[in-house]
Amino acid sequence: MATDNHFINFNLRNPKAKESTIHFIVRWRGNRYVGNANSRINPKHWTKGQRANTGLLKQTTKQRDAYKAINKRLDMNRETVNQIFETYLEQNGVTPDLATFKQLVKDALNKQDSQAETKKMTLLYFIDNVMPTKTFATKEGLKTVTPQTVRNYKQTGRLLREFGAKYRMDIDFDTINTDFYNKFVPWMQTKPVQGRQENSMTVGGKNDLGHTSNFIGKTINNIKSIMNYAVEKGYTENLAYKDKKFISPVDERIDHIYLSVAQLDEMWSLPFTPKEPHLEIARDLFLISAWTGLRFSDLETFNEHARFDNPGQITIVTQKTGQEVTIPLIDPPVKSILDKYKGRLPHMFNQKANKHIKTVAARLKDFDNDLTLTRTEGGAKVTRVFKRSEMVSMHTARRSFATNMVQTFSVSPFNVMKITGHKTFAVFDNYIKSTASEVADQIADKVNELRNPQMKIS
């Protein structure tokens, strides 16, 4: 039986031109076939490995996507040629002659073109494979996509799939309109939520109620972001999602907790056994965030991106906004923690850190008592009771930073916003956690301090 000894290479038709057609050349048993790879490229961007260079420093996102598409077509051409030889040899015991090979290539490429015309980009495929996972270009410049944002988009895709299966709908770009919205939001409100943390008694409502109003709002915002990117990339012209009726449910202000300065100091003084390094690391990362205002995503890249240009300060480009911020190196505990780890923070996954910091918080005084939380679930107000320590997460640290800076240290909210990266006071204000009574006491103390320094209202 004959053996398959064919070779395929990709060459530029005119390497000296500003733009050249890419050819694929097949050689076997003294035969030579030259085919058009249906791609053109600047010869300066063609690599010795016979590929379009997708790693150029000044390459735009659009150009990089185009070059990735070229490389994908080249891989398809190679796969087509290999498949032709494999199938023909298996069926006939010999490799095809030149004339037969030409016809087989023609038939195969025509079939690919036909499939390409009928196959269209779908919304769900777009979410899974096209939405940016690291950076993308905007009018303001290159924007970084955090791992959490990527996970949020994937989660939105899963919800759209589940919704489509429930109503036997093909979810696509053109289906994202007010009719979709009017079905999707009620479905989210009544959809039983799997895995919700119910560690304490339920005062009102049912355990199988739907998603919270805030979660639904974030999902709608994700859909809008995805559609905006698809429109920008030219995959759809549907703008129905911009209708005034296609709105996110009202962002419900929840009374999340924060840790006071005294509680943060108590957490810093907690002892840990040699068998609890995971708790100590979670505590240290929490305190870094609580005294710098950095997000957990910034802690994950701290070792690569943090700079110490000025004594007593940290400068870092934040992952979510791409904004450079300069933060005072408050000690204790920030400098002490950095010194402990020789300037390089230990790594811990966000999910693990959230789990361990609840254990740490449970060791604080007055953190084993109950906390009542009222929020909208399934379109209805529901009151639940939790242990206070169960409500602590790594994000609580950032909320504690904002609250303590404004409420305890009387730093201007607008100066704190320069560190936290909030662009509007309305959003920032949701981070500042204090009761009406606390605000009243603070106002009274401040006024009294200015009017009569010798007297203070208790």
What pLDDT, in 10s, does the model give residues 358-414?
Answer: 999 999 987 777 776 666 555 556 667 778 888 899 989 999 998 899 888 888 888
The pLDDT averaged over each successive group of 10 residues in the chain (458 residues) is 75 87 90 87 84 72 78 85 86 88 84 54 86 62 69 91 90 93 88 47 38 84 92 87 83 69 95 94 95 90 88 85 84 92 90 93 83 61 76 90 88 84 72 60 66 52
Residues 201, 303, single domain; the answer is: no
Report helix angle 178-190 to 213-233, nearest 10.
150
Q: Are residues 183 and 149 in the same domain?
A: yes
Same domain flag for 288 and 421? yes
Q: By the 8 A CB rule, do 217 and 251 touch?
A: yes
Q: Is residue 250 part of a domain?
A: no
384, 359: one domain = yes
* DSSP, residue by residue, 165-210: HHHT----GGG-SHHHHHHHHHHHHHSPPTT----S-B-SS-TT--
CA atoms within 13 A on the CB side of 398: 19
| 271 and 383 part of one domain | yes
**Taking the CB of residue 241, how many other CB atoms lie within 10 A of it?**
21
Q: Which pTM does this prediction carry?
A: 0.55
The answer to whether 205 and 382 have CB atoms below 8 angstroms apart is yes
Give the domain extent around 15: 7-119
pLDDT of res. 210: 63
3-state secondary structure of 47: coil
Do 53 and 155 share a structural domain?
no
Cα 162 from chain centroid (whole Å)? 21
Burial annotation 212-222 (CB, 10 A radius, 16+ → b, else e): bbbbbbbbbeb
Total structural domains within the chain: 3
> Is residue 253, in this structure, part of any structural domain at all?
no
The reply to whether 112 and 189 lie within a common domain is: no
Question: Tokens 């064919």 correspond to what residue?
Answer: 6
3-state secondary structure of 385: strand
From residue 331, alpha-carbon distances to 33, 200, 268, 328, 381 in Å are 72, 37, 11, 9, 43
2 located within any domain? no
From 242, 276, 295, the end of a domain falls on 242
Q: Do residues 268 and 321 share a domain? A: yes
Residues 335 and 429 reside in one and the same domain: yes
